Amino acid sequence: MKLDPVALAVMNSRLAAIAEEMGVVLGQTAYSPNIKERHDFSCALFDAKGELVAQAAHIPVHLGSTPLSVRAALERLELRPGDVAAVNDPFAGGTHLPDLTLVAPVFIGDRRRPFAFVANRAHHADIGGMAPGSMALATEIYQEGFRMPPVKIVERGELARDVLALFLANTRVSEEREGDLRAQLGALSVGAERMREMAASAGRGRIALAMEALKDYAARLMSAELARLRPGTYAAEDFLDDDGFGASRIPIRVRVKLARGRATVDFTGSSPQVRGNVNANYAITLSATFYVMKCLAAEAVPANEGLMRPVSVIAPEETIVNATAPAAVAGGNVETSQRIVDVLFRALSKAAPERVPAASSGSMSNLTVGGFDSIRRRHFSYYETIAGGAGAAPGHPGASGIHTHMTNTLNTPIEALEAYYPMRVTEYRVRRGSGGRGLAPGGDGLVRELECLAESNVSLLSERRTLRPWGLAQGGDGAAGANYLVRAGVATKLPGKTNLTLKPGERIRVETPGGGGWGRAPSRRKHRAK
The Cα–Cα gap between 480 and 513 comes to: 5
Q: Which of 234, 231, 220 is nearest to 265 (CA)?
A: 234
Q: Which of 425, 449, 446, 451 is nearest to 509 (CA)?
A: 449
Residue 529 has pLDDT above 50, yes or no: no
> How is the chain split into domains, by residue range?
5-215, 357-530
Mean pLDDT, rounded, of the chain: 95
The Cα–Cα gap between 149 and 132 comes to: 22
Strand-pair category, 99-106 with 84-87:
antiparallel
Residue 300 has a pLDDT of: 82
Percent of the residues in the chain that have a pLDDT greater than 70, as a whole number: 98
Global confidence as pTM: 0.95
Q: Which of 55-59, 60-64, 290-294, 524-528 has the highest mean pLDDT?
A: 290-294
Mean per-residue pLDDT, 116-121: 97
Mean per-residue pLDDT, 312-333: 97
Instruction: Go through 154-186 and write b for each residue having 16 or more CB atoms within 10 A of its CB, e for each that does not.
Output: bbeeeebeebbeebbebbbbbebbebbbebbbb
Residue 62 has a pLDDT of: 80
Residue 2 has pLDDT above 90, yes or no: no
Mean per-residue pLDDT, 511-526: 87
Residue 298 has pLDDT above 90, yes or no: no
Strands (E), 300-358: 311-314
Torsion sign, CA atoms 349, 355, 361, 365 = negative
Residue 246: count other Cβ atoms within 10 Å of its Cβ: 9
Mean per-residue pLDDT, 367-393: 95
Residue 236: count other Cβ atoms within 10 Å of its Cβ: 18
Q: How confident is the model at residue 530 (pLDDT cuts 50, 70, 90)?
A: very low
Residue 524 has a pLDDT of: 66
Are the CB atoms for 328 and 140 separated by under 8 Å?
yes
Residue 439 has pLDDT above 80, yes or no: yes
Residue 194 has a pLDDT of: 97
Residue 526 has pLDDT above 70, yes or no: no
